[in-house]
Amino acid sequence: MEHVYVSDIAKYEGQEVILKGWLYNKRSSGKLHFLQLRDGTGIIQCVVFKGDVPEEIFNLADKITQESSIIIQGVVRADKRSPIGYEIGVKGLKVVQMAEDYPITPKEHGVAFLMEHRHLWLRSTRQHAILRIRSEIIKACRSYLDDNGFILIDAPIFTPAACEGTTTLFETDYFGEKAYLTQSGQLYMEAAAMAFGRVYCFGPTFRAEKSKTRRHLTEFWMVEPEMAYYDLNDDMDLAESLLEHIVKQVLKNKRRELETLERDISALEKIEKPFPRITYTEAIEILNKKGMTMTWGDDFGGDEETVLSKEFEKPVLVHRYPLQCKAFYMKADPQDPRLALCVDVLAPEGYGEIIGGGQREDDLKTLEQKIREHNLPMEAFKWYLDLRRYGSVPHAGFGLGIERTVAWICGLHHVRETIPFPRLMERITP
């Protein structure tokens, strides 16, 4: 007999099949047991009727505990009362392992308790929906770039001597030398872009920031495209197209999961090109009109990002920040050297920054001077400066934070549910 999955059950109507999974929940009514079987692809109700099975099977069904692993043999039948349209008339039942008292009940739990039991919490319907959407978002990022001429180039996780101070880097011992966990693959992607034209990396990045907010993890995943011969406008066009593609793929392939999360789908359906583009200077004006007191040159905090992103129904691209509050590799705007050719993309509905990027400084002399101005060790950038020595070209790129994107698309309040095993300032287990 065939082992089938709940997601494919419609194809087997009227047939006898085998399902392998876990007991999600159970209800009984005298001569009936209703077993909710969960197999990772979905949940289906399996009905055990006393008259249909040997007595020992019926008694066994009565004793199964929540999350026990079970194998069920039975007939697939259509039933209007089922949320998925089908249920199983049980003929056989085998318990692979009888679970001990399961800590997570179908009732409410607090955040701390659930985080403590993250390894079990992953089994719940809501977490399934979120992590399936995460999987779809990552797939969409990769397929879009793969299908548009980009090459995947993996960046290293171990990096040598810190470039910009060590306070936000995780230090490790590397055969007696200090090494650090990467904060970004960007510098390596610039090298790769000079080799392959259009490249991207996708991997974990680490920040030892003592940030306790809904937007911060110490370990998070980024997609970082980098493109030779792209200027800031090309960069913004790519960011816009990529985000539109991601949202459309999720709407197309994960609509049921969005419904499970009770996401306002109409808000996502508005995400179509073109997105609004405003300059930093215009953003400051908007914030001041909203009653915040910003002076030109201030960087945006979480509150400012929230206010700005609530102003628009689509992601908003904020470009040309003051050069002074940006990293050394940012290229200055030739039209106004106080400005950097950079862009942040703020997700709507208050979700804030999901992309940061821009055009990189491509002139050797200027870059050397910037490194000195930022008091950075020239030696550490020897290889990076080579890129401006041997065939330097204008180039640009950005980093898209996966977890913040998942939080926005799923409509979640906190990024801790957007990654299977979140790493937070105060939590490294499970």
Partner RNA sequence: UCCCCGGUAGCUCAGCAGGUAGAGCGGGUGGCUGUUAACCACUUGGUCGCUGGUUCGAGUCCGGCCCGGGGAGCCA
Q: Does 327 bind RNA (CB under 7 A)?
A: yes
Residue 75: CA atoms inside 13 Å, Cβ hemisphere, count? Answer: 9
Single residue of 94, 119, 178, 210 touching RNA by CB under 7 A: 210
The stretch among 15-23, 111-119, 142-150, 278-286 that binds RNA (CB under 7 A) is 111-119
Q: Does 291 bind RNA (CB under 7 A)?
A: no
CA 410 to chain centre: 10
Of 125-133, 228-236, 361-369, 420-428: span binding RNA (CB under 7 A): 420-428
Site string for RNA, 123-162 (x = CB under 7 A): ----------------------------------------
Residue number, 132 or 414, with CB nearest to RNA = 414
Query: For RNA, which residue of 132, 338, 414, 423 counts as binding (CB under 7 A)?
Result: 414
Binder of RNA out of 81, 289, 365, 382 (CB under 7 A): 81
Shortest approach of RNA to residue 251 CB, angstroms? Answer: 25
Determine if 211 is a binding residue for RNA (CB under 7 A).
yes
d(CA 412, CA 174): 38
Sheet of strand 151-152: strand arrangement: 151-152, 198-206, 219-228, 395-401, 352-359, 342-347, 316-319, 277-279
Tell me how far apart the alpha carbons of residues 320 and 341 are, in angstroms, rounded to a whole number: 5
Residue 25, interface with RNA (CB under 7 A)? yes
Cβ-proximal residues to 19 (8 Å cutoff; 6+ apart), any chain: 3, 4, 5, 6, 37, 39, 44, 46, 71, 72, 74, 88
Q: How far is CA 338 from CA 294, 302, 321, in A?
A: 17, 24, 9
Mapped onto helix, strand or coil, the DSSP state of residue 217 is: coil
Q: Which stretch binds RNA (CB under 7 A): 103-111, 120-128, 140-148, 241-249?
A: 103-111
27 binds RNA (CB under 7 A): yes
Going by C-alpha positions, the residue among 284, 306, 282, 311 that lies closest to residue 295 is 284
In the bound state with RNA, the residue whose beta carbon lies nearer, of 373 and 426, is 426
| Shortest distance (Å) from residue 84 CB to RNA | 10
Q: Is 186 in the site for RNA (CB under 7 A)?
A: yes
> Helices in 201-301 by DSSP H: which ranges?
232-253, 255-260, 265-269, 280-289
Binding test (CB under 7 A) with RNA, winner from 14, 51, 291, 337? 51
Alpha-carbon Rg for the chain in angstroms: 26
Rounded to 5°, angle at Cα 295 from 292 and 298: 95
Please give the residue ranges that form the binding site for RNA (CB under 7 A): 25, 27-32, 34, 45, 47, 49, 51, 65-66, 79, 81-83, 87, 101, 103, 105-113, 115, 163-164, 167-168, 183-184, 186-187, 207, 209-216, 301-303, 326-327, 356, 399, 413-414, 424, 426-427
